[in-house]
Structure 1
């Protein structure tokens, strides 16, 4: 009996040793980081496929939503992200919040026409040209301490032609809030992201939930779509088989979509 038990104990010890060795390999291959301001960490999960040498094609990215949109900066910093673009900057408040916490950023494109839009843009932010010029100067003052800031005073569709595909780690969409404009920005800037990059945007809501006095259902071409930002995002991710999450405590939630690694 003692001999039998001794042999069993040896086998159990061998199995435990092997299991611990495998666990160590897994932990080295799948790092995670604690992120300030998040309820849980951004994690990299295996999709179950065999990993090619040096690759990540079998991996999918999973993201737990942060409380507020400013916390996106902590995600970017933890990812080691370096480059980003913000579409629809207005006074530069969000850009300042992000860059103050995203210290690893080396280039941040600020895209805004900073001009009154005459055709079918019935929102409170569509102020007169004088006010837009004041917004631009305010943004420049906010960005003076951030050498990463690059200004593009033009429409998002024009700026997209200047930014190479696969060159960005982060895009934040906050320009037009109608379905057509939102969907166009998603389609134009998705190719600009590197694999594993983060596409996010403001005001994840339908037209009926938008602010009073505005009309998010009206597209620039005069067509009407009540889906607005949320409808555009949901159709976009559905077409690509992706997931979308939104911030938990913002009055106007921000959505987030991770680009697959391959």
Structure 2
């Protein structure tokens, strides 16, 4: 089965045409093209993302099923709840959004991953997502302790469609605290889903689950048309996770 090859500026194929289980690489949609802001926005707006390693062309993906975290299904385990309570109460601990986006994405690129050699967050990806950040569509959620960046994540947002990308931690629980902050932020702003792209046991332990691609694409089509929130974090948002009045499952 021939994989579509794109020249810079070419439109991406329909996500539903990505290779399936009987094809050589399930979820792979196309190769080539560019990582400019317009191409990335087109991709994410249609449930597609780039992922490739050094020495490879740009590869575009749309897996079926899709791993997603529905924000009202986030598993706030007892140990993480205690860590959040300590963090929220400490005067030298804070969540910042977009304070140091480039520092976050570079830290994600340098973070060691179990079972992985090297990183897919190549210099051209850092440059591309930094440009997307400057255009207002990529954001960092950062865990700061004592004036030090200790962990965080970055994500892409198109309207109210949010796509998680990568996390890092320099202290225990620092990346989980950032993810919890993103969940609390999304709950407060009526954002019901965070894309996680692919299935991992770590994401599953936090409540993420697989969703048929068709349903995921339908969600993205609706969410991208809605006005996006103001990307700032207020400590009051912790009540979305820690309040005893919350009826959401934890």
TM-score under structure 1 length normalisation: 0.30
Larger radius of gyration: 1
Structure with larger RCO (C-alpha < 8 A, sep 6+):
2
